[in-house]
Structure 1
């Protein structure tokens, strides 16, 4: 069976919002090649066809959407998508996919195009965190979740910016062809792993953002050794400074104590395991370096406002 994926471009679109997911479908198509050919056929369309200029100046040749097959429709984001005027013809084209029971998706601010066409009314959706407030204010009928990598509400899929489109495409591949093909595609593309849709658009390491290489090395050491006894003395040794100097420097550069930073990084790792796998709560707690599941539960309540079981349940229901 072959799946058609259609990318709808508007002027000033973000090139990576298209090329990243397109590469996923191309790679997956080769991984699951049949006697009839690759499992995916990728098409790039616009209303009139011809070259469409991206925000970085690169032009992509498109065909008229009237000449393209129906299939999964993906709208990449970019400055043009946020400002795009949805013409009556575009609205008809978008709704035609919905009425035919086809998947409709957006990457980053491509959600503005879907929202302007009325396709997100009453649905949960996400976009780049920087533009989530604007999306919610402009389209109050859309239930905007500003801190998700990607979301699926029925046959409508939305994602955060740039690389989140790759996660969205991998999730679609898993839905179509199974986890083995999605995993093989991620490995072929040298994607570290497929992030579950429920993961935050922010990571603890990005948020802490120290200036010095010394403290960055400590944070990477924490992430790579969650099961170790990450005491102040141990981390000071990693930084090659005294414990007192380490405490002072770490707090000044990250705004957190080492203990709080370790707790946040462990919670982030545990959440990813919970949402992506079937390991028990106790097993996840041990893998993330918590002394026990109760300690992890208290940490989750502080960091996420919900216990681990609730986040896992929501992920399994496809609601995060």
Structure 2
């Protein structure tokens, strides 16, 4: 079994621990080698309280943990800023990283990896909320806050909170293959394993809601009807505006020109079709409004740095 040491501290984010832990534990139901052995550790063994007051038990004091370790995973949470000056915690993370096959962090746990000297010269991500602070504090790290998770050699970092589940699924896929990771995702009833290059937010969440009701309804219409006529003349007519005024107002209220929003919305629709259907690529392109496999390929490479075919092979769930 692969040994996973999960590092926690006072006021850590509970889901940063429980999400990955449940992924690893569920993988044990399907993995032929028995999966993973989980161990929570803190500076002092015993009760550690998460943000919100829930108490968990740290099995071992960090100084008593010895290798070998398969995966060292550091949680994040509201308590991280208070622990960046905790010399014992940072030193033990650095020590154990040297005994681990790979090291990972969830959310702003990346700050602790950086304090331990593990991210210098590497690419890393963290929660968007603290990304600017991370970039200022650790200029030797190439920060990319747009990503769900990033792997740089044997060091993995993830974005905020629930993306720790995506990270853990990626680690399981790296160990046992994408099919087993997809089975775990289905067992946990979570979103199918997302590629690390995907943005932290889906398009409707990432863009602000327009102030005017007609544009809010139009935005929802675009997302729900990727195959419709979404050219600017048609959208302007639906919004009862001139084309020029519509383009200006839509861009101001959503932060994206209408053509760019439509393309990204259709790309999201294509991604969902690739994950949930066996449709050939020409049908995916047609139903998502992208028109042709060639356009589908170009759009996918532009937004997710992966081809549609590779995306489907890696992330589509296959029913038994």
**What TM bracket, shorter-length normalisation?**
0.7 to 0.9
Find the counterpart in structure 2 of residue 200 from structure 1.
199
Q: Tell me, what secondary structure is at the counterpart of 1:158?
A: strand
Find the counterpart in structure 2 of residue 40 from structure 1.
36
Provide the C-alpha distance between the structure 1 equivalents of 2:306 and 2:202, rounded to a whole number of angstroms: 18
Unmatched 5+ residue regions in structure 1?
301-306
2:312 equivalent to 1:311: no
User: Are the structure 2 counterparts of residues 68 and 86 from structure 1 closer, same or farther at C-alpha, using a change threshold of 3 Å?
Assistant: farther
Unmatched 5+ residue regions in structure 2?
311-320
Tell me the number of residue pairs that the alignment of Structure 1 and Structure 2 aligns.
299
Find the counterpart in structure 1 of residue 226 from structure 2.
226
1:54 to 36, 39, 50: 50
Task: Write out per-residue CA displacement over residues 228-278 of structure 1, whole angstroms, 9 at most, x where no aligned residue.
Answer: 445689989xxxx96528x97x94964667655322211344578899xxx
Find the counterpart in structure 2 of residue 304 from structure 1.
none
Provide the C-alpha distance between the structure 2 equivalents of 1:39 and 1:297, rounded to a whole number of angstroms: 36
User: Are the structure 2 counterparts of residues 157 and 92 from structure 1 closer, same or farther at C-alpha, using a change threshold of 3 Å?
Assistant: same
Contact 1:82 1:113 in 2 (8 A): no
Contact 2:197 2:304 in 1 (8 A): no
The list of structure 1 runs, each at least 4 consecutive aligned residues, that deviate by more than 6 angstroms after superposition, is 211-217, 231-236, 271-275, 279-284, 297-300
User: Are the structure 2 counterparts of residues 108 and 310 from structure 1 closer, same or farther at C-alpha, using a change threshold of 3 Å?
Assistant: closer
Contact 2:270 2:288 in 1 (8 A): yes
Q: TM-score, normalised by structure 2?
A: 0.77
Contact 2:72 2:100 in 1 (8 A): no
Find the counterpart in structure 2 of residue 267 from structure 1.
267
Task: Write out per-residue CA displacement over residues 258-304 of structure 1, whole angstroms, 9 at most, x where no aligned residue.
Answer: 655322211344578899xxx9987764453213466568868xxxx
Q: TM-score, normalised by structure 1?
A: 0.77
Provide the C-alpha distance between the structure 1 equivalents of 2:180 and 2:298, rounded to a whole number of angstroms: 37
Deviation at 1:183, TM superposition (A): 0.4
